[in-house]
Amino acid sequence: MKPRFGWPFAGLAAAAVLTLLAWADPRIPIEQPVFRYLFVLDITQSMNTRDYHLENLPADRLSFAKAAVRRAIADLPCGSEAGLGLFTTQNVELLFEPLEVCRHAGVIEDVLEHIDWRMAWAADSFIAQGLNSALRILKKRDSGLRLVFLSDGQQTPDDPVRPEIQAKPGEFQGLIVGVGDVKPVPVPKLDRENRPQGFWETADTLAPVTTTAYLDASTDTTHRHKNDGTLYLTWLHEPELKEFANMSGLGYLRLDSPSALSRALRNPELGELRRVPAGIGWLLALAAWALILWPHLAPNRSLRRVSG
């Protein structure tokens, strides 16, 4: 007489126990790369330009960049951290210090959603100074923090003197992310309620007419001859951004799709190895799956009829 409960029963029982364990979501600490990023978004008005044309994704640069950052943060492994900052004029201001991405995903996403060009404390856009400001902020924090600087590189007004990037080689790590397309397009002019008011004209961005006792701007024709009613055009200034990336030791990535950014930010070189609790439930479930499948793999040894 064979025992009442044989191997098939034991297999199935083991599968049930494994499934129960998997359901309990066990975790063991495993060394894996985690990432700590400070995302700095350019919120100057050229970022309102609509030159993305991908289905189900926003057309304007800022919203597209936000969607990409959102996706990238969601894809980061738990234990990673993300902070958010804004860039306009020549400064970067943080909204919050880096937060763990899984436990705080709700607030991070909500704050990211609310980032808006109207938060800018001044107009104009000096990219190099902004980058320097971001690097200064990074320097004040610990060395594990990486910068992700998202900008179209549009300098307004044009500055003939390009300031140096203040970085020693190897001091910083991260990415400059070029947002937008390289084809020149006009910049939408929006009012405070985000209603479109046409486009920015070149004349709007020229140096303001200043009259002092010693300088009558009306006699200064250097600005006026450019004032021909043309639209002010913007494009992704890739060579400049690449140069900044080179000088600061950061990588460069053109933002074509949210998934590309997410992949680039999971590059193990940008992370640091840390022991983080990793779920092993899926391994147990996989074993349970095999145990349930196993009896069905055995060939039918002989004819067996149950149904007609």
Binding stretches for another protein (CB under 8 A): 2, 4-6, 8-9, 12-13, 15-16, 19-20, 22-23, 25, 74, 83, 86, 89, 91, 93-99, 102-111, 114-116, 118-122, 137, 140, 279, 281-282, 285-286, 288-289, 292-293, 295-308
The nearer residue to another protein, 108 or 245, going by C-beta atoms, is: 108
Beta carbon nearer to another protein, 108 or 150? 108
CA–CA separation, 54 and 62 (whole Å) = 14
Q: How far is the CB of 296 from another protein (least distance, A)?
A: 4
Token pair recorded at residue 37: 């990023």
Nearest residue to 105 via CA among 69, 130, 136, 159: 69
Query: Least distance in Å: CB of 306 to another protein?
Result: 5
Q: Nearer to another protein by C-beta: 33 or 279?
A: 279
Q: Which is nearer to another protein, 53 or 305 (CB)?
A: 305
Q: How far is the CB of 92 from another protein (least distance, A)?
A: 9
Closer Cβ to another protein, 268 or 295, answer by number: 295
Query: Least distance in Å: CB of 204 to another protein?
Result: 19
Distance in Å, CB of 215 to another protein, minimum? 25
Between 133 and 248, name the residue whose CB sits nearer to another protein.
Answer: 133
Q: How far is the CB of 13 from another protein (least distance, A)?
A: 6
Instruction: Name the minimum Å distance from CB 115 to another protein.
Output: 8
* Closer residue to another protein in complex, CB, 121/198: 121
Q: What is the DSSP string of the chain?
A: ---SS-HHHHHHHHHHHHHHHHHT--EEEEEEEE-EEEEEEE-SGGGG-B----TTS-SBHHHHHHHHHHHHHHHSPTT-EEEEEEEEBTEEEEEEEEEETTTTHHHHHHHHHH--GGG-SS--B-HHHHHHHHHHHHHHS-TT-EEEEEE----BS--SSPPPP---TTS--EEEEE-S-SS-EEPEEE-TT--EEEE-BGGGGSPP--B-SS-BGGG-HHHHTT-SSPBPEE---HHHHHHHHHHHT-EEEE-S-HHHHHHHTT-GGGSEEEEEEEE-HHHHHHHHHHHHHHHHHSPP-S---S--
